[in-house]
């Protein structure tokens, strides 16, 4: 091709070189965004004071009034407001308290416990909480979850595992802790929660396993718990 000639065209008259540059540029911007975007503004880029006020049917000035904390220009008011929003979304999407309540009524059988808890998790992928789950995932992806909340969740689920373990006769294999097992299970749930956005049918898949129907999430959860646990050791008194 001589200087000044038009670029070669691919299918549909497109220039392959230009297409690649555009795709590559977008990928670079995406990586840069997630390298630096670690705040609520990025996680909630679709929220503006005006949009919130219109939905609430109130004046946008109330946001600065309630969250301004006597600042002359209200520069941090919307950030504080988004803090409150993230805390509410986190509280609404986390089910540790519900699991703790339900755990008290579960039978003293590990399989039944796993089946019940994972069924509750999978129900979130198809019910009205699906959009709420996606909103909380956005917080996690942007590193904008409420301060201390993720670690608090691990601790809470660790205590649930401790209580259930005492009933079914299991404890973590040393040097693992109850929180280590809880974190592994939560990470599994998080992975299933992300994949349900693009592969819902596979995420919800069930199999005939050990003589009964199990979801893939239940099988994987059971494997993690048993792989990281041992029968409770008797005291040598």
**C-beta atoms surrounding 182 within 10 Å:** 24
Looking at residue 14, its pLDDT comes to 61
Q: Would you call the peptide bond into 175 cis, given omega within 30 degrees of 0 as the criterion?
A: yes
- 209 and 115 together in one domain: yes
Residue at which a domain ends, from 45, 66, 93 = 93
Number of domains comprising the chain? 2
pLDDT per position as a tens digit, 35-44:
665 577 777 8
Q: What pTM was estimated for this model as a whole?
A: 0.79
Residues 213 and 201 in one domain: yes
120 with 227, same domain? yes
What's the token pair of residue 68? 């301004």
Final residue before a domain boundary, out of 93, 117, 135: 93
Q: Do 85 and 105 have their domain in common?
A: no
Mean pLDDT of 3-13: 51
Assess contact for 161 and 99: CB atoms under 8 A: no
Strands (E) located in 9-76: none
Shared domain for 64 and 118, answered yes or no, is no
User: Do both 121 and 226 map to the same domain?
Assistant: yes
61 domain residue, yes or no: yes
């Amino acid at each position: 091709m001589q200087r000044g000639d038009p670029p070669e065209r691919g299918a549909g008259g497109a220039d392959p070189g230009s297409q690649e540059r555009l795709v590559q540029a977008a990928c670079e911007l995406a990586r840069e965004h997630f390298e630096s975007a670690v705040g609520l503004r990025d996680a909630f880029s679709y929220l503006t004071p005006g949009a919130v006020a219109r939905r609430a049917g109130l004046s946008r000035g109330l946001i600065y009034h309630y969250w301004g904390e006597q600042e002359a220009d209200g520069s941090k008011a919307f950030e504080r407001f988004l803090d409150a929003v993230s805390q509410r979304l986190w509280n609404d999407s986390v089910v540790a308290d519900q699991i703790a309540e339900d755990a008290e009524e579960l039978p003293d059988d590990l399989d039944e416990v796993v089946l019940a808890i994972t069924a509750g998790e999978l129900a979130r992928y198809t019910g009205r909480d699906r959009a709420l789950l996606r909103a909380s995932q956005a917080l996690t992806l942007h590193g904008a979850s409420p301060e201390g909340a993720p670690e608090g969740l691990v601790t809470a689920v660790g205590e649930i595992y401790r209580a259930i373990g005492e009933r079914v006769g299991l404890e973590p294999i040393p040097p693992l802790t109850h929180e280590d097992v809880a974190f592994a299970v939560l990470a599994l749930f998080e992975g299933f929660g992300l994949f349900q956005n693009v592969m819902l049918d596979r995420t919800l898949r069930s199999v005939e396993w050990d003589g009964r129907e199990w979801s893939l999430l239940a099988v994987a959860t059971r494997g993690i718990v048993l792989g990281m646990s041992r029968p409770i050791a008797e005291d040598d008194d």
